[in-house]
Amino acid sequence: MKDQKLRYQIGKGGVNRLLSLLVLGGLIALSACTTGNRSKVPAEQQYQGKTMGTTFHITTLGDAEIPSHGVDSILDLLNTVFSTYDTASFISYMNNGVLDAWRSSKGEDMYKLCESHFAKVYGMSQGVYLRTNGAFDPSGAPLFNLWGFAESERRIPSIEELDSIMNFVGLAKFYFERREFTNPLPGFTLNFNAIAKGYAVDVVSMFLMVSGYSDFMVEIGGEVFALGHNAQGGDWVIGINEPSIGSEANSLIDTVHVSGGSVATSGNYRNYYKDSTGRVIGHTIDPRTGRPAMSDLLSVSIKHPSCAIADAYATAAMTAGSEPLLSWVSSDSLLKAVIVRDSSGSSVVSRLGY
């Protein structure tokens, strides 16, 4: 472990330069560090707060304090890039077709830094979009709004409304010249909420790695990366919630052991509403049809070295169902899944790729 003073030599500008190197060089998931038998339980450091419309928690082992300034700088920057709730964000300006104005106001260095993160996530999204045949699609956010999940009042749109919105859905319809992310098609928008939290977990985790930490866990909104060992000397244990309507937040149906990898979970059981007939309408909208996904899954927890990729696949799986997910897992040795399905009113847990 490096000297504690070294951690705090990375100021705001240094964090930005570090992030540039991490983005351009690609994210790496390291293997778990072997620490051997421990004679005593090591000290734990905790840091938590709010970001991206949710909460984050970081746990590290050892006596050194968590470099909170560096973590906050990273999260603030990524929120500036990906927040669709912030009208002054990079993506908000891009969606409104006025990114040149954002570039002029923020300066070239800030623009290039934010564009690098955006390009990284856009590239990963394209990959998952193609591998899942469009089940994961960051251009489908207008559908989420159309069904009322972004508002306090839920609604069921008309066929005419759906047909109109579907003209502006489909990542394959996007094109960007010379990697200049200025939206050339009026009416199209992008939203990376289904991958951005996982990506933030990856970037914060990489920051901790290069700062010398070898035993830690980073969690943002339920998406997790863990490295090394927990305080008891074993793998980090991530709980999977019981995916039933009305279940308690601490009610677990299974656990996953993680060291040197990520877990991301998606499910409909906490964000849903019922129509006039009592039918449950889940918040996962199938971007291929414009309607709520009718898969056989109650929840899915994806394990992958990259939390961003795990995050995206979890959303895609809730859209497509267990059979396509099994195909994805079979063709990718890095991809594993814990799925929960309903069978005669009972939750059934299955593991894929383990």
Q: For residue 248, what are the contacts with CB-CB under 8 A and spacing of at least 6? A: 242
Quick one: pLDDT at residue 251?
79
pLDDT for the residue 164: 85
Given this model, what pLDDT does residue 29 score?
Answer: 42
Q: Looking at residue 254, what is its pLDDT? A: 86
CB 114 within 8 A of CB 79: no
H or E element that contains 158: none
Helix, strand and coil content of the chain, in percent to the nearest 5, comes to 40, 20, 40
Report the pLDDT value the prediction gives residue 34, as an integer from 0 to 100: 42
- Residue 336 maps to which CATH number? 3.10.520.10
Domain containing residue 137: 4-35+43-352
Three-state DSSP class for 250? coil
User: CB neighbours of 120 closer than 8 A, spacing ≥ 6?
Assistant: 23, 27, 199
Domain count, the chain: 1
Whole-number percent of the chain with pLDDT over 90:
55
pLDDT under 50: residue ranges of the chain: 1-12, 24-36, 280
pLDDT tens across 299-325, in order? Answer: 899 999 999 999 999 999 999 999 999
Instruction: Please classify residue 125 by burial: count the beta carbons closer than 10 Å to its beta carbon, then call 0-12 exposed, 13-18 middle and 19+ buried.
Output: buried
CA 295 to chain centre: 21
Q: Please, where are the H alpha helices in the chain? A: 4-7, 12-25, 68-82, 90-95, 99-106, 108-131, 141-146, 159-166, 193-210, 307-320, 322-330
Q: Measured at the alpha carbon of residue 148, what is the angle toward residues 145 and 152, in degrees to the nearest 5?
A: 120
CA distance 354 to 256: 11
Whole-angstrom distance, CA of residue 172 vs CA of residue 195: 18
Cα(220)–Cα(198) distance, rounded to whole angstroms? 7
Cα R_g (the chain), whole angstroms? 21
Question: What torsion do the CA atoms of 73, 79, 81, 83 make, to the nearest 10 degrees?
Answer: -170
